[in-house]
A = this chain, B = another copy of it.
Amino acid sequence: MNLLLLEEADFIAADRVVLRDRRLTHMQEVHRVAVGDSLRVGRIGGLMGRAEVLHLEAGEAQLQVSLDQPPPTKLPLTLILALPRPKMLRRVLQTIATMGVPKLVLVNSYRVEKSFWQTPFLEPEAIREQLILGLEQTRDTVLPEVIIEKRFKPFVEDRLPTISADTLGLVGHPGSYPACPRAVDAPVTLAIGPEGGWIPYEIDLLGKSGLQPVQLGERILRVETAVTALLARLF
């Protein structure tokens, strides 16, 4: 945790918060803070700054907060991801929050196992928990927007064209396609497939909605690694 994120409900005054949950445990057990210590904090969706520990007890900490720095800018990107398997989903949510993705669409694909849609990790609270971990890691306060699209065709045909309009539309896909471009100077819409890749019908439909295939070489990366590698190349 490189940034302690404060929720609205933590504030008991404009510059005063009370913490009682895992963040208190983390402060005490990992950072071993004492009264008078100063910590990096951020208000969810708002500014970042520092907090001084005013009181500290077993079950509660009170901090005086001073927020004056904007969070880092996000990438100019909408990321579309075929729903990964549940364990990978949690890691990917952290990763996209860490990398500064502002908007993630989780979409169905022919090679997504149906059972993946049943995971409790898709509950809003479970998604938020992983995003918060990513923001704490990277020092950011703004939660990415996560949209769930259980049906591929209506999403790609009806809603994707609006998303991809005036952006560089790309699909990460192995094969004899152009290499993924580097250091692009435009907003991007990027789709990344499931393990085993998109099927030709899906590539076709994504293409009609403005997303063209690009490749990263012959190695087959796990989804989390592919996301990081593609974003590091693009931006």
Using a CB–CB cutoff of 8 Å, the interface residues on chain A facing chain B are 2, 72, 95, 98-100, 137-140, 182-183, 216-222, 225, 228-233
B222 & A98 in contact (Cβ 8 Å cutoff) = yes
Name which of A2, A100, A140, A229 has the most chain B CB atoms within 10 A of its CB: A229
A220 & B99 in contact (Cβ 8 Å cutoff) = no
B137 & A222 in contact (Cβ 8 Å cutoff) = yes
Contact of A98 among B99, B139, B219 (CB under 8 A): B219
Question: Which chain B positions have C-beta within 8 A of A228?
Answer: 225, 228-229, 232
Question: Which chain B positions have C-beta within 8 A of A138?
Answer: 219-221
Measured CB to CB, the closest approach of chain B to A217, in angstroms, equals 8
- With both beta carbons as reference points, the residue of chain B lying nearest to A229 in the complex is identified as B232
Name which of A140, A218, A220, A225 has the most chain B CB atoms within 10 A of its CB: A225
Contact of A218 among B72, B183, B233 (CB under 8 A): B72
- With both beta carbons as reference points, the residue of chain B lying nearest to A196 in the complex is identified as B2
Question: Which chain B positions have C-beta within 8 A of A231?
Answer: 229
A219 & B183 in contact (Cβ 8 Å cutoff) = no
Interface CB pairs A-B, < 8 A, 17: A72-B217, A72-B219, A95-B225, A98-B219, A98-B225, A99-B221, A99-B229, A137-B221, A138-B220, A138-B221, A139-B219, A140-B219, A225-B228, A228-B228, A229-B232, A230-B232, A232-B232
A99 & B219 in contact (Cβ 8 Å cutoff) = yes
Measured CB to CB, the closest approach of chain B to A220, in angstroms, equals 5
Contact of A233 among B219, B220, B221, B232 (CB under 8 A): B232
Supposing A228-B232, A232-B228 touch, asked if A220 and B2 sit within 8 A by C-beta, the answer is yes
Question: Which chain B positions have C-beta within 8 A of A218?
Answer: 72, 139
Measured CB to CB, the closest approach of chain B to A232, in angstroms, equals 4
- With both beta carbons as reference points, the residue of chain B lying nearest to A179 in the complex is identified as B183
